Chain A
Amino acid sequence: MNSKVLVAPSPHVHGGDSIQKNMYGVVFAMLPALVFSFVYFGMGAIIVTLTAVASCYLFEFLISKYLLKKVPTLNDGSALITGILLAFNVPANLPIWIILIGALVAIGIGKMTFGGLGNNVFNPALVGRVFLLISFPVQMTSWPKPLGFNTAYLDAETGATPLAIIKEGLKKGEPLSQLMHDIPSNMDLFMGNMGGSMGEIAGVALLLGLLYMLFKKIISWHIPLTILGTVAIFSGILHMANPEAYAGPLFHILTGGLLLGAIFMATDYVTSPMSHKGMIIYGIGIGLLTVIIRVFGAYPEGVSFAILIMNAFVPLINVYVKPKRFGEKRK
């Protein structure tokens, strides 16, 4: 023993968990969905993903090095997640320059202005997505049809998402049972055979990711399950009240970005509450808002907005919703 003994306060051992492990665990959990998107949208999906990831890394590097003048920390994997999530949230035929803007907004405004990883209030990928949705509504809502690997990148045949079909139809006054014929079957929805953003279509892949993350204890069940549960219950009640005007719970869960949002975006560490109680409140909030926006709002899709709105409440939830303390004296 040539060096001096170490002295430090207890505990003297560490569980070995690290930020990287968690971040790359999330990336690993996203792989099935990524594979599905490649299968359904082909080249376009690959180009969009690569662009989004590369530009997120680039912007993170540039901003932290030249604007914040810090040593850039790229290896924590958070830029990778933001990149993939951003790609998941856009159509597979989005032009590269729009993706670049999206990445800049996501990393620049969504993350770095707050001080980088750990300090941001809103999920960066969602900030990017919503910005694009508002700025480029046309490009952001012309989804290519999932035609397999040969789907052309830019001028692919486009189609509407199931949610949009319903929304449009209901607006025209058509009864729901009629509209349902235009919608792929539940099985198709589950397997991802529908129009939509890259990563949101394949429910089965997203659920696989969820199982992996739960198994690895990367996230706890509280957020995803309460969101899904709330959506199911709330839409179920509406459906029961008037089956002709409101779609059923299964439809709501399988369509749009609900699974993607509930599993990968609402669970983002930084922008979700810390305590289990808080997580449940947050999840219920997202579920309710999603259904409200989808059913009563102007946009067919509401998950992104719901998550962003609840993100804004997280600091408040963290202050007022405390975990259950051991032996707490009740007043």
Chain B
Amino acid sequence: MLKTFSLGGIHPAGNKLSASSAIQVLPIPEIVSIPISQHIGAPATPVVKKNDEVKVGQLIAKSSGFVSANIHSSVSGTVFKVDDIMDSSGFRRTAIIIKVDGDEWLETIDRSETLVTEISASKEEIIAKIAEAGIVGLGGATFPAHVKLSVPPGKTAEVLIINAVECEPYLTSDHRVMLEKGDEVLVGTQILMKALGVNKAIIGIENNKPDAIAHLTKLAVNYQGIEICPLKTQYPQGGEKQLISATIKREIPSGALPIEVGAVVQNVGSAFAVYEAVQKNKPLFERIATITGKSLKNPSNWRFRIGTPVKDLIDAAGGLPEDTGKIIGGGPMMGKALTTVEVPLTKGSSGLLLLPREEALRKESKPCIRCGKCVSACPMGLEPFLLMVLADKKEYERLENNAVMDCMECGSCSFTCPANRPLLDYIRMGKGKVGQIMRSRK
């Protein structure tokens, strides 16, 4: 029996259409719009202004607090303006818009492909470099990486867990990174281990990627303390709590962070970014994403410059299919539906999924038949049917007592419900309200 997490879980169809397509490089667009808020936490503060000349990798917005991240120019050219543009959810947010001119990189960046395994930087230097490079969790949560690496006083990290499960259906970018940049990922992992002061790292990979498991297992013999841990394919294994439960059998208490059980989780994409930042001096201004969909001509994986319009990526993969009903930034379970294709790709864009209209359109919601399937599916052991009713009735106190704040918004409940009830929609609303109430209490 392969390892997996302890409670609930579902098995959506994998649909990893682009798994065998090698990473390609997306052409640099003529104009990029780089939002100043691409991470969880305070938006960065722009440090460039209209008509400034910028180079690739140059800092253009500075982190404005501990939980915040630097933002670098992904192109060279002139700043056209700093203005509000429409973000993926239709709200207007500040972005730095740069007109591209050539492709001139900062001299400090090492652009060679040679693998540097020697880690010369000290623990503090590593964390400083990661913060400097603006690295955030690349799995989609976009939590600034240096915050997670700074272990709070009184706690000790025992093990680093690299999240390579890619449990979202359709997405394959992490899979490709492991296959094509295996050594870099492992060096990145060792850098992270050094930063945390731990001598053990576990890379959790679901067994629907046997080639990645085999490849990394082969490479890992050359690296001290890295263990490859194949996991049974089950959603949402990529959730931090689930991954820790699956790999080291520890349960994070409700409301606590992974460090409580001595673990720190980083995404495999972040490990690669850390390698580039620390060994090659290259800040996070490009990343790898999957573009996929059943009707899409060419589901594939691309390395793109941050700020490139979503439209460019779709065009590169063969254009928007006729039957597209929904454009999703991220995977089908936790991704965000986009309102237009004119928005830029950001640090958090792990993929782009084009769903045909019939598949995307929700079915009519029926009354709950109390089958309990949502309860069985919930990886957090909650009672989604009840939470939905309570959220709808605005009974926030009972919601809190029923642990609504534990919900990780994985969507397993809505996915499973035979009555097609929009469980998570309501639970998320209730969570927001309860969160407000709890904060106001403090």
Partners in one complex: yes
A-side residues, CB < 8 A to B, are 1, 3, 5-15, 17-19, 21-22, 76, 116-119, 220, 269-270, 272-276, 279, 322-329
> Please, which residue of chain B has its CB at the minimum distance from the CB of A2?
B322
> Please, which residue of chain B has its CB at the minimum distance from the CB of A76?
B366
Q: CB distance B10 to A12 under 8 Å?
A: no
Q: Shortest beta-carbon distance, B99 to chain A, in Å?
A: 28
Task: Assess A325 versus B253: contact at CB under 8 Å? Given A7-B337, A220-B376.
Answer: no
Task: Assess A326 versus B241: contact at CB under 8 Å? Given A12-B360, A22-B371, A118-B367.
Answer: yes
Q: CB distance B336 to A10 under 8 Å?
A: yes
A12 partner, pick from B252, B355, B376, beta carbons under 8 A: B355
A-B residue pairs, 5 tightest by C-beta: A11-B411, A274-B372, A325-B381, A269-B371, A17-B418
One digit per residue, 1 when the CB lies within 8 angstroms of any chain A CB and 0 when it does not, for chain B 250-271 equals 0111101000000000000000
Q: How far is the CA of A326 from the CA of B322 in the complex (A)?
A: 43
B224 interface residue per 8 A CB criterion = no
B335 interface residue per 8 A CB criterion = yes
Instruction: List 7 A-B residue pairs with CB atoms under 8 Å apart, sorted by A's residue number.
Output: A1-B324, A12-B337, A118-B368, A269-B369, A322-B402, A327-B256, A328-B381
> Please, which residue of chain A has its CB at the minimum distance from the CB of B413?
A11
One digit per residue, 1 when the CB lies within 8 angstroms of any chain A CB and 0 when it does not, for chain B 315-358 equals 00000111111111000111111111000000000000101010
Q: Is the interface of B mostly helix, strand, loop or mixed?
A: loop
B231 interface residue per 8 A CB criterion = no
B-side residues, CB < 8 A to A, are 6-7, 10, 12, 169, 241, 245, 251-254, 256, 320-328, 332-340, 353, 355, 357, 359-363, 366-373, 375-376, 378-383, 385, 402-403, 406, 409, 411, 414-420, 422, 424-425, 428
Given contacts A18-B418, A323-B382, A329-B253, 10 further A-B contacts (CB under 8 A): A5-B326, A7-B339, A9-B337, A10-B335, A12-B326, A18-B420, A116-B367, A270-B369, A324-B381, A325-B403
Task: Assess A6 versus B357: contact at CB under 8 Å? Given A274-B370, A324-B381, A327-B241.
Answer: yes
Task: Assess A5 versus B327: contact at CB under 8 Å? Given A270-B369, A323-B381, A325-B254.
Answer: yes
Q: CB distance B253 to A15 under 8 Å?
A: no
Q: How far is the CA of A327 from the CA of B379 in the complex (A)?
A: 11
Question: Which residues of B lie under 8 Å from residue A15 when comparing CB positions?
Answer: 10, 12, 415-416
Q: CB distance B332 to A326 under 8 Å?
A: no
Q: How far is the CA of A220 from the CA of B340 in the complex (A)?
A: 43
Task: Assess A329 versus B254: contact at CB under 8 Å? Given A5-B326, A6-B360, A275-B383.
Answer: yes
Question: Which residues of B lie under 8 Å from residue A279 when comparing CB positions?
Answer: 372
Task: Assess A10 versus B369: contact at CB under 8 Å? Given A17-B417, A274-B375, A327-B254.
Answer: no
> Please, which residue of chain A has its CB at the minimum distance from the CB of B384?
A274
B373 partner, pick from A5, A8, A11, A17, beta carbons under 8 A: A17
Q: CB distance A13 to B415 under 8 Å?
A: yes
Question: Which residues of A lie under 8 Å from residue B414 when comparing CB positions?
Answer: 11, 14
Q: CB distance A10 to B366 under 8 Å?
A: no
Question: Which residues of A lie under 8 Å from residue B420 when comparing CB positions?
Answer: 14, 18
Question: Which residues of A lie under 8 Å from residue B378 when comparing CB positions?
Answer: 323
Task: Assess A19 versus B418: contact at CB under 8 Å? Given A11-B334, A13-B333.
Answer: yes
Question: Which residues of B lie under 8 Å from residue A117 when comparing CB positions?
Answer: 367, 369
Q: CB distance B332 to A11 under 8 Å?
A: yes
Q: CB distance A326 to B381 under 8 Å?
A: yes
> Please, which residue of chain A has its CB at the minimum distance from the CB of B340?
A5
Question: Which residues of B lie under 8 Å from residue A5 when comparing CB positions?
Answer: 324-327, 337-340
Task: Assess A11 versus B333: contact at CB under 8 Å? Given A1-B322, A220-B376.
Answer: yes
Q: How far is the CA of A21 from the CA of B335 in the complex (A)?
A: 28
Q: CB distance B375 to A275 under 8 Å?
A: yes
Q: Shortest beta-carbon distance, B363 to chain A, in Å?
A: 7
> Please, which residue of chain A has its CB at the minimum distance from the CB of B7?
A326
Q: CB distance A13 to B385 under 8 Å?
A: no
B379 partner, pick from A3, A274, A326, beta carbons under 8 A: A326
Task: Assess A276 versus B403: contact at CB under 8 Å? Given A18-B420, A327-B253.
Answer: no
Q: CB distance A325 to B411 under 8 Å?
A: no
Q: Shortest beta-carbon distance, A325 to chain B, in Å?
A: 4
Determine which residue in A1, A14, A22, A326 has the highest number of CB atoms from chain B within 10 A of its CB, and name it.
A326
Question: Which residues of B lie under 8 Å from residue A322 when comparing CB positions?
Answer: 383, 402
Q: How far is the CA of A326 from the CA of B336 in the complex (A)?
A: 26
Determine which residue in A11, A118, A275 has the highest number of CB atoms from chain B within 10 A of its CB, and name it.
A11
B424 partner, pick from A7, A9, A21, beta carbons under 8 A: A9
Q: CB distance A325 to B382 under 8 Å?
A: yes
Determine which residue in B321, B340, B353, B366 has the highest number of CB atoms from chain A within 10 A of its CB, and name it.
B366
Q: CB distance B253 to A17 under 8 Å?
A: no
Q: How far is the CA of A174 from the CA of B429 in the complex (A)?
A: 67
> Please, which residue of chain B has its CB at the minimum distance from the CB of A273?
B372
> Please, which residue of chain A has its CB at the minimum distance from the CB of B353?
A12
Q: Shortest beta-carbon distance, B171 to chain A, in Å?
A: 13
B370 partner, pick from A14, A76, A116, A270, beta carbons under 8 A: A270
Q: Shortest beta-carbon distance, A210 to chain B, in Å?
A: 17
Question: Which residues of B lie under 8 Å from residue A273 when comparing CB positions?
Answer: 372
B169 partner, pick from A6, A13, A323, beta carbons under 8 A: A13
Q: CB distance A6 to B326 under 8 Å?
A: yes
A9 partner, pick from B323, B324, B355, B425, beta carbons under 8 A: B425
Q: How far is the CA of A224 from the CA of B265 in the complex (A)?
A: 41
Q: CB distance A8 to B241 under 8 Å?
A: no
> Please, which residue of chain B has its CB at the minimum distance from the CB of A119?
B367
Q: How far is the CA of A326 from the CA of B255 in the complex (A)?
A: 10
Q: How far is the CA of A323 from the CA of B333 in the complex (A)?
A: 23
Q: CB distance A19 to B327 under 8 Å?
A: no
Task: Assess A10 versus B411: contact at CB under 8 Å? Given A5-B324, A324-B7, A328-B254.
Answer: yes
Q: CB distance B335 to A327 under 8 Å?
A: no
Q: Shortest beta-carbon distance, A314 to chain B, in Å?
A: 9
Q: CB distance B369 to A118 under 8 Å?
A: yes
Question: Which residues of A lie under 8 Å from residue B320 when comparing CB positions?
Answer: 1
> Please, which residue of chain A has its CB at the minimum distance from the CB of B325?
A6
Q: Shortest beta-carbon distance, B386 to chain A, in Å?
A: 8
Task: Assess A12 versus B328: contact at CB under 8 Å? Given A5-B339, A19-B418.
Answer: yes
Question: Which residues of A lie under 8 Å from residue B7 when comparing CB positions?
Answer: 324, 326
Question: Which residues of B lie under 8 Å from residue A14 when comparing CB positions?
Answer: 362-363, 414-415, 420
Q: How far is the CA of A15 from the CA of B12 in the complex (A)?
A: 7
